Amino acid sequence: MKVAICTLGCKVNQYETQALEQELLHRGHELVDFEETADAYVVNTCSVTAVSDKKSRQMIRRAKKNSPDAVVAACGCYVQTHEEEAKSLGIDLLMGTNDRARFLDRLEEAVKTRETVADIDDALRRRTFEVLPAGGMANRTRAMLKVEDGCVNFCTYCIIPYARGPVRSLPMDKAAEQVRALRSQGYRELVATGIEISSYGHDLKDGTTLIDLLELIAREGGEMRIRLGSLEPRTVTREFCERAKKLPTLCPHFHLSMQSGCDATLKRMNRRYDTARYYESVELLREYFDDPAITTDLITGFPEETEEEFGETLAFIEKCGFAVMHIFPYSVRPGTKAAAMAQVDMSVREERAARAAAVAERMHQGYLARCVGKTFPVLFEQDRGEGSVGHAPNYMPVTVGMKGLHNTVQNVRITAVDGDGLRGEPEET
């Protein structure tokens, strides 16, 4: 059968879609673009914000409208947390964020029988990590390895613990096996991803932590670069930095989750740190790594946030000097504690997001400017126009005026800032 998949949301969703695609091909099915005619359409949904919910519904409706005779299936976080709403969309197969093999079994059955199936488990009862095949699709240079699932932080604004359940970690022996497989397949970079990778190992009960996993990946991965997903500040200790610094393939790009630069707001969010602990992590990373790219997330207009509190956040992000920021006006998630708090008007949330974005852009351009004159090993991923584009270890995009560099690493001397990225010249070898 022909299957088309639309993926919304985070890198974990992207990883899980890749696993579904690999298994579909293994079973002899054909993958087609989502806009093409197919026997089955799969929407891997997201529910991190209200906008994510809306996009999930839109893609489901688009599939049903474009191909009314096809089976439309949905999985992922939106389905897991909005089962009844999802059912009202007329979906043929609904499953949540677990048991991908059974999902494909059900998909094959649905195409044959045209029976409607809804099979949503209780995510909070999950205890076992679902091992899926790691990798990327053809012609890609970077592969993802899902090393963790679930979260037990229960931040007051977040629905994800209810969508993904408690922390479950990829066992170290399985991690080693998958890293070796990715290395043999020719990938040049591995992205360690998960819902909350800072909690890696908590469920293993043997003292294993994220840095132990990274050391294993470095041993088994050879020259394959290691890139990290989002980190919590508690992860960044002096011991972590001392050990991480010794890993020659670890990229100096650290996405350090923040959400607010105001202690009072962080407390309402139920974040497990204050600004002092967060800044300690920033300073440690800069002590051990040469001008690392420290990136972050920010929520503006969180419930009860005052103008004074937002001003504290603006001052704090300036102090941290982020390379890149991802900024979101607060989005109400029904069922969370923050949904019952006093809400800030949406126009204020968006206005604050715009002000923060202006500061973020200035810091971003400053970081790019510091890269000019330096030489970076760039992993090239695709041709673009008359040249090639790839990423430096700090994840800044780099363009050169030479084509045909796909999946190669070239030393590039940075000559200029180019919009939101960099331009350079390959050094002769």
CA-nearest of 300, 292, 294 to 278 is 294
**CA gap 62, 41 in Å, rounded:** 10
Domain 142-370 has CATH 2.60.120.260: no
Which CATH fold would you assign to the domain 373-426?
A: OB fold (Dihydrolipoamide Acetyltransferase, E2P) (2.40.50)
pLDDT of res. 137: 60
Stretches where the chain sits below pLDDT 50 are none
Question: Which residues sit opposite 325 in a β-bridge?
Answer: 296
Over the chain, what is the mean pLDDT?
A: 96
Task: Characterize the bridge pairing of strands 387-391 and 375-384.
Answer: antiparallel
- The CA radius of gyration of the chain, in Å to the nearest whole number, is 22
pLDDT of res. 135: 72
Question: Which residues sit opposite 41 in a β-bridge?
Answer: 4, 72
For the chain, the domains span: 2-121, 142-370, 373-426
Name 417's Cβ contacts closer than 8 Å, sequence gap at least 6: 365, 368, 369, 371, 372, 423
Contact by Cβ (8 Å): 291, 332: no
pLDDT of res. 219: 98
Class of domain 2-121: alpha beta
pLDDT of res. 429: 62
SS3 238: helix
The upper half-sphere exposure of residue 82, i.e. CA atoms within 13 Å in the direction of its Cβ, equals: 25
CB count within 10 Å of CB 155 equals: 21
Strand order in the sheet with 225-228: 168-169, 142-149, 189-194, 225-228
* Residue range 209-250, pLDDT digits in tens: 999 999 999 999 999 999 999 999 999 999 999 999 999 999
pLDDT of res. 138: 57
Contact by Cβ (8 Å): 144, 15: yes
CA-nearest of 2, 57, 51, 48 to 24 is 2
